[in-house]
Chains A and B, each alone.
Chain A
Amino acid sequence: MITQEEVAYIAKLARIELKQEELEKYRIDLNKILGYIEILKTVDTTGVEPLAQVTGLENIFRSDEAEEQGIADDILQNISETSGRFIRVKKVL
């Protein structure tokens, strides 16, 4: 069972601010998810190889070519706060 302290810690890592009542709401939600994982864990997987991908694809590469005329300026246009060509965010340390 996941505790309110753990929910608060995860929220901190994700930089999300949660109110007291939300902590309890997400504690219940997360416990439901973890409960479902517990059900999944009961499936017998003997002889099944672990899998990191479900697509079955392998070795999908791109050749090393740079696109000089990119969309940098368009991206900057859509950023809410800039300073010159810099993106401006609230101070982080």
Chain B
Amino acid sequence: MNYEPVIGLEIHVQLKTRSKMFCASPNNPDETEPNRNICEVCTAQPGSMPVINKEAVHMAILVGLALGCEIPEYSKFDRKNYFYPDLPKGYQISQFDQPICGAGIQVVEYEGKKRPIRITRAHLEEDAGKLIHEGSTTLVDLNRAGVPLLETVTEPDFRTPAEAKIFLQNLRNIVRYLGVSDADMEKGHMRCDANISLRPAGSQDLPPYKIEVKNLNSFKSVEAALNYEIKRQSEMQESGEKLTSQTRGWDDSKGITVEQRTKEQAHDYRYFPEPDLPIMHFIRGDVEKIRAELPELPAQKEERFISEFSLQDRDAGVLVNDKNLAAYFEEVVSELEEWFKEERLEADIAKLAKMAYNWISGDLQALLKIEGIDPQNSRITAENLAELIKMIHQGQVSTTAAKRILEVMFETGGDPSHVAADEGLSQVSDEVAITAVVDKVIAKNANVVADYKGGKKQALGFLVGKIMAEMKGKANPQVASRLLEEKLH
């Protein structure tokens, strides 16, 4: 039988506020000293009271608006009760029935097909501390306890693991563009749980069970765990086994999911309104003011790159996936545009943009990855890269020479014309100089010339090679080839 996966996601994103969700303890995910960023509130000292961080609320609304969520008029916090040392209060302050962001929608594009994914809600809560289990004791570090989290929940609208992964990447891009989170999955800034079940292809009903998969620490593991579950569940269904709801954990090293014992059922959390936090009342006008703060979002940028610069969908996607790379690309292209306008040269924007894309996503990004830096922090300014591209475009340097120049620029930060001169990498397009060498090569290789004239067309390549060698690779090969052909006719 053919099965169709039914997949939903729950994603926690750590918000990059200065202080925690309900107290003034620093929110610093990079803190290395345990229990450094703690206070009476996040360690649950008797009599301490939480107060809502205004910036966390602002960030949550920004994300909600970017995801197309409704922002309700009223929102409140609730206590989710559970006893575990990662939250010393004995409950987590979360949101139950009145989340800060209501229903929304995000379009996911996979293999050229666009599908809307419904977002159920997004709510604010506090993160828990970290536990280290050591022998007969458990060590508790509460630096993370109370850090603001935004949990986004989707409807079970994904039909392939790839769609789920793309949604996650899009969400990561959105929160990064908004500047509200670094959303690095490996560092735990963004954590994902997935639920997945299978139904017979063509069915519209939700399956009678749901497998929740936890411990997905990378985009890759989300996709791999879901693919594993599809295989496991379809095999079970094929062999007539009945699937029941359970929680499973992804084992990244073994590439399998394993059943986990669940601590509590949802109704055991005994949610009730947080009496220490007054309700939040959002005035329409204030929400609209926040909407006006929204920057150009990744999906909009991608569309603009395609329409403005005629980039391929895939190329635009690569750039947009990295906010800094996209900004750098745009700067390089606008430098190029300006230059060509100044010098009153005919410029084909699509062609220049494609060149800029190739250089940025290829050679430059390879160099950036080695150093682990953003283009903005490299020694190659957008202006200098634009100049290098212009030199290539005008035939002043060969592509091979340009690669070398780029490396030197990356090391030393010089401008490309100086680097080309210093390294002796300028390409000769001077027809007089090249013609002299062409004549010399023709004279020296009479046999080959005769072959060519006798119809052996590939002999031309040999002669161009001789010219290049004679000029130590600095001749513009197109010019050399053209001049040679003219001479031989």
Contact = CB atoms under 8 A, between A and B. Distances in A.
Given A13-B264, A57-B278, A84-B34, A70 B54 contact: no
B275 interface: yes
A64 B27 CA distance: 10
Interface of B: 17-19, 24-27, 33-40, 43, 45, 51-57, 76, 81-85, 98, 131-133, 135-142, 264, 268, 270, 273, 275, 277-281
6 contacts: A13-B270, A53-B76, A62-B52, A68-B26, A75-B40, A90-B138
A19 interface: no
B139 to A, nearest CB: 4
B279 A53 contact: yes
A61 B24 CA distance: 12
A87 to B, nearest CB: 4
A86 B132 contact: yes
B178 to A, nearest CB: 15
Given A13-B268, A59-B281, A85-B33, A92 B85 contact: yes
A64 B43 CA distance: 19
A28 to B, nearest CB: 21
Contacts of A13: 81-83, 264, 268, 270
Given A59-B278, A61-B51, A62-B53, A83 B139 contact: yes
A25 interface: no
Q: Report the interface size class on chain A.
A: 20 to 34
A19 to B, nearest CB: 20
A46 interface: no
B275 A87 contact: no
Contacts of B53: 61-62, 64
Contacts of B85: 87, 89, 92
Contacts of A67: 19, 24-26, 39
A85 B34 contact: yes
A60 B51 contact: yes
A75 B34 CA distance: 13
A61 B57 contact: yes
A18 B386 CA distance: 75
Given A13-B264, A62-B24, A75-B43, A55 B55 contact: no
A64 B55 contact: yes
A58 interface: yes
A-B residue pairs, 9 tightest by C-beta? A64-B55, A61-B54, A57-B278, A86-B139, A52-B273, A66-B26, A67-B24, A87-B140, A66-B19
